[in-house]
Chains A and B, each alone.
Chain A
Amino acid sequence: MRRLIALAALLILPHVALAQEVRLGYLALENDPRYDEDFAYARIPLRPQGDTLTGVELAIEDMKILTDARGLTVSLETARTEPEVLTATAERMIANGARYILLDLPAPDVAGLAEALAGQEVTLLNTTAPEDGLRTACYGNLLHTAASDRMISDAIIQHLVRQKWDEVLVLHGKTDRDAARAASFEQAAARMRVEIAESRAFDLSTNPALREENNIMLLTGGIRDYDVIFIADEYGEYSRYVEYQTALPRPVVGATGLVALEWHWALERYGAPQVNSRFEAMAQDGRRMSWQDWSTWVAARAVLTAYAKAREPGPEGVEAFLRSDKLRLDGSKGVPMSFRSWNGQLRMPILLSTHNAIIDIAPIDGFLHQTNTLDGLGMDEAEFECD
Chain B
Amino acid sequence: MRTTLIAATLAAALAFSPAEAKDTGLIFVSNEKSHEVWVLDSDFEVVKKIPTSRRPRDMKMNAAQTLLYVACGDDDVIDVIDIETLEIVDQVPTGPSPEVFAFSPDESKMYVSNEEDSMLEVIDMADRIVIHDVPTGAEPEGVIQTPDGSTVYVTSEVSDMVHVVDAEAGVVTDNIIVGTRPRRFVLTPDTNELWVSAELSSEIYVIDRDTNEIKDVLEFLPPGFRPEDVTPVGMALTADGSLGLISLGRANHIAIIDAHTKEVQDYVLVGSRAWSVALTRDESVAVVANGLSDDITLVDMETRRPIRSIPVGRVPHTVVIDD
Binding site for B on A (CB under 8 A): 10-11, 14-15, 61-66, 69-70, 271, 274, 277-278, 305, 308-309, 328-330, 334-336, 372-373
| Residue from the list A11, A278, A372, A373 in contact with B138, Cβ < 8 A | A278
Is the Cβ of A65 less than 8 Å from the Cβ of B226?
no
Please tell me if B161 contacts chain A, counting CB pairs below 8 Å: yes
Please tell me if B47 contacts chain A, counting CB pairs below 8 Å: no
- Within B161-204, the residues touching A (CB, 8 Å) are 161, 173-177, 179-181, 200-202
Nearest-neighbour CB distance to chain B for A67, whole angstroms, equals 9
Is the Cβ of B174 less than 8 Å from the Cβ of A15?
yes
Please tell me if B139 contacts chain A, counting CB pairs below 8 Å: yes
Given A274-B116, A328-B200, A336-B201, also A309-B157 (CB < 8 A):
no
Please tell me if B294 contacts chain A, counting CB pairs below 8 Å: no
Residues of B within 8 A of A334 (CB): 231, 250
Please tell me if B36 contacts chain A, counting CB pairs below 8 Å: no
Chain B: interface size category:
20 to 34
Is the Cβ of A11 less than 8 Å from the Cβ of B173?
yes
A328-B226 Cα distance, complex, nearest whole Å: 14
Smallest CB gap from A65: residue in B: B137
Residues of B within 8 A of A61 (CB): 138
User: What 5 A-B pairs are tightest by C-beta distance, nearest first?
Assistant: A65-B137, A66-B159, A336-B200, A69-B175, A65-B159
Residues of A within 8 A of B213 (CB): 14
Please tell me if B212 contacts chain A, counting CB pairs below 8 Å: yes
Is the Cβ of A62 less than 8 Å from the Cβ of B175?
no
Given A278-B138, A336-B200, A372-B226, also A65-B177 (CB < 8 A):
no
Is the Cβ of A328 less than 8 Å from the Cβ of B180?
yes
Is the Cβ of B212 less than 8 Å from the Cβ of A11?
yes
Nearest-neighbour CB distance to chain A for B192, whole angstroms, equals 17
Residues of B within 8 A of A308 (CB): 160, 177
Most buried by A among B181, B200, B202, B211: B200
Please tell me if B115 contacts chain A, counting CB pairs below 8 Å: yes
Is the Cβ of A63 less than 8 Å from the Cβ of B201?
no
Binding site for A on B (CB under 8 A): 97, 115-116, 136-139, 156-161, 173-177, 179-181, 200-202, 211-213, 226, 228, 231, 250
21 contacts between A and B (CB under 8 A): A10-B211, A15-B176, A62-B137, A62-B138, A62-B158, A62-B159, A65-B137, A66-B159, A66-B160, A69-B175, A271-B139, A271-B157, A274-B97, A274-B139, A277-B116, A278-B138, A308-B177, A330-B157, A330-B160, A335-B200, A335-B228
Most buried by B among A10, A66, A372: A66
Is the Cβ of B136 less than 8 Å from the Cβ of A65?
yes
Is the Cβ of A328 less than 8 Å from the Cβ of B136?
no
Nearest-neighbour CB distance to chain B for A305, whole angstroms, equals 8
Is the Cβ of B158 less than 8 Å from the Cβ of A336?
no
Residues of A within 8 A of B179 (CB): 328
Is the Cβ of B180 less than 8 Å from the Cβ of A65?
no
A70-B228 Cα distance, complex, nearest whole Å: 26
Smallest CB gap from B135: residue in A: A65
A334-B201 Cα distance, complex, nearest whole Å: 11
A229-B139 Cα distance, complex, nearest whole Å: 40
A70-B161 Cα distance, complex, nearest whole Å: 11
A138-B174 Cα distance, complex, nearest whole Å: 43
A329-B250 Cα distance, complex, nearest whole Å: 17
Residues of A within 8 A of B231 (CB): 334-335
Is the Cβ of A330 less than 8 Å from the Cβ of B181?
yes
A308-B201 Cα distance, complex, nearest whole Å: 15
Given A63-B159, A65-B156, A271-B157, also A330-B180 (CB < 8 A):
yes
Given A65-B137, A274-B139, also A336-B177 (CB < 8 A):
no
Given A63-B159, A66-B160, A328-B201, also A15-B226 (CB < 8 A):
no
A15-B160 Cα distance, complex, nearest whole Å: 13
A372-B212 Cα distance, complex, nearest whole Å: 34
Give 13 new A-B contacts, CB below 8 A, not counting A11-B173, A64-B137, A372-B226: A62-B137, A62-B138, A66-B159, A271-B139, A271-B158, A277-B116, A309-B160, A330-B157, A334-B250, A335-B231, A336-B201, A336-B228, A373-B226
A305-B180 Cα distance, complex, nearest whole Å: 10
Residues of A within 8 A of B157 (CB): 271, 330
Smallest CB gap from A326: residue in B: B201
Is the Cβ of A372 less than 8 Å from the Cβ of B228?
yes
| Residue from the list B139, B176, B180 in contact with A336, Cβ < 8 A | B180
A325-B202 Cα distance, complex, nearest whole Å: 13
